Every structure is written in structure tokens, then in C-alpha cells.
Amino acid sequence: MTATARPEARPMATTARPEPAAAPAAPEPAAEAPRGAAPASRVRLVVLLVLAAAVLGYGVHRWLDAQRYVTSDNAQLDGRITPIAPKVQAFVSRVLVDDNQPVKPGDTLVVLDDRDFRLRL
């Protein structure tokens, strides 16, 4: 028997087929937040509510303040001013009324110093 050389077996050339694309992985379920921790959306809502309450409170304060106090860069005041003129010249010893206090006709407003008149007498 004669030995004949056998050609060596070569691996068959195969064309590589692309593997089918894997389906997108399903999102992993979100881990539960620990008790006591609020989700970010709830925190944002609380911050927005607090901010809105602060702005509203400031606006109400400014509005109420504007109802009581008048400010102007170019103001002219008109009011009822009644001059009080004594018939004699003397120093004032006491003032019996306060600023903007309502008075009635005949009320004593000031008491004049009468020492000069006593000396003349």
C-alpha cells in the first residue's frame, strides 16, 4: 500500500452573517425612594409654592403700604390751615393740644405767659 498524501482539510470559509440587532433593553424599574424622601417633582412643586406665596405676600404688603403712605418726587399739599393769631403779644407758656388733634370752637389751645401784663397793671 502506498500512502498517498491527502490534502489537509481546510476549514470552510463562511461568510459572517450579522447577528440580529438585540431589542432595546427594557428600562430597569426605578428603585423605590426611601421612606421620607420626596421625589424631585414634589420638591420642585413645594419650592414653587413657597416662592409664589412669598411673592404674593410681598405684593399684598406693598399694596397695603401704598394705601397708607403717599410718596412723590413733586408733591404739593393742600389742606385746611387755620391761622391762630393772638390779640396781644406774649410768650406761650403751655400748649394744650397735640398735632392733628380735632378741636371745637372755644377750646383753649395755648396759655400765654401773663407776667408782663401783671407788671403793667
> What are the tens digits of pLDDT across the range 50-106?
999 999 999 999 999 888 887 777 777 677 777 777 788 889 999 999 988 888 988
Instruction: List pLDDT tens digits, range 2-54.
Output: 556 565 656 665 665 666 666 566 666 555 656 655 688 899 999 999 999 99
Tell me the C-alpha distance between 55 and 51, whole Å: 6
Which pLDDT score, from 0 to 100, does residue 44 have? 92
Contact 61, 88 (CB under 8 A): no
Which pLDDT score, from 0 to 100, does residue 72 have? 76
Contact 94, 111 (CB under 8 A): yes
Continuous segment of H or E residues that includes residue 111: strand 110-112
Q: What is the dihedral of CA 32, 37, 38, 44, to 10 degrees?
A: -130
